[in-house]
């Protein structure tokens, strides 16, 4: 466990230092801000509607449940249970980090809510076969990845926080869509459902 923690710290310091400059600071702040992506969210909802107009409200409810589950597991369950200090709140580690003043967040960071939520969205759109072209799936994965990595660059999460957060988002979304499939098969017309 100690060796894993050291690897986590070493990766954090490398990502936090490797491309550090004022321009990259602004890019990563931009990527980390949830309001940045509102136009992108609107585009995703448009694709969701186009993929299955008749089930848009069901899919919106499912998507909301996936994000809410990922967020609650990360914020309400894991963070208070594990109580792992964010790097920027760690008195021993903070002097080694190149931090931006005023950017840190809450006390605890395991797991990353940003990673959990973005990978929940990625998993939902992938398993629902929303996109007909793989380029959009790759773009969505890159979006989830860059948002997650921005949190490490800013020193507010360890790489392990975002990796485990991504797993939470993927697993939670798979669980909800699997549950939907079971309900669909038991109570509704099987032919109207896309397989997960």
The DSSP code for 107 is S
Q: What is the CATH number of domain 2-192?
A: 1.20.144
Q: Measured between alpha carbons, how far is residue 60 from residues 25, 80, 124, 178 in Å?
A: 34, 29, 11, 16
Residues in the chain with pLDDT values less than 50:
193, 195-196
Note the pLDDT of residue 3.
86
- Rounded to a whole number, what is the distance in angstroms from the first to the last CA of the chain? 35
Provide the 10 A C-beta neighbour count for residue 52: 15
Residues 129 and 51 sit within 8 Å (Cβ to Cβ): yes
Domain boundaries, the chain: 2-192
Two tokens, residue 4? 């894993």
Note the pLDDT of residue 7.
95
Note the pLDDT of residue 193.
47
The DSSP element (H or E) to which 194 belongs, if any, is none
Please state, in angstroms and rounded to a whole number, the distance separating the CA atoms of residues 196 and 175. Answer: 10
Q: Measured between alpha carbons, how far is residue 47 from residues 43, 169, 181 in Å?
A: 6, 21, 21
H helices of 33-158, where? 38-51, 56-72, 79-82, 113-127, 134-153
Please state, in angstroms and rounded to a whole number, the distance separating the CA atoms of residues 84 and 54. Answer: 44
Residues 122 and 176 sit within 8 Å (Cβ to Cβ): no
Q: Is 37 buried (19+), middle (13-18) or exposed (0-12) by CB count in 10 A?
A: middle
């Amino acid at each position: 466990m100690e060796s894993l923690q050291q690897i986590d710290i070493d990766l954090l310091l490398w990502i936090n230092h490797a491309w550090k400059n004022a321009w990259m600071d602004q890019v990563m702040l931009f990527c980390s801000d949830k309001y940045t992506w509102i136009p992108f969210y609107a585009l995703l909802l448009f694709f969701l509607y186009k993929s299955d107009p008749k089930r848009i409200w069901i899919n919106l409810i499912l998507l909301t449940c996936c994000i809410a589950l990922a967020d609650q597991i990360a914020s309400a369950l894991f963070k208070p249970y594990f109580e792992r200090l964010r790097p920027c709140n760690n008195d021993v580690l903070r002097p080694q980090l190149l931090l931006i003043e005023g950017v840190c967040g809450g006390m605890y960071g395991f797991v990353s809510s940003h990673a959990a939520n973005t990978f929940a969205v990625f998993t939902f759109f992938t398993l629902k076969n929303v996109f007909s072209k793989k380029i959009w799936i790759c773009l969505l994965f890159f979006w989830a990845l860059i948002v997650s990595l921005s949190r490490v660059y800013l020193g507010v999460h360890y790489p392990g926080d975002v990796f485990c957060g991504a797993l939470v988002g993927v697993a939670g979304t798979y669980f909800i869509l699997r549950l939907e499939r079971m309900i669909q098969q038991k109570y509704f017309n099987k032919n109207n459902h896309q397989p997960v």
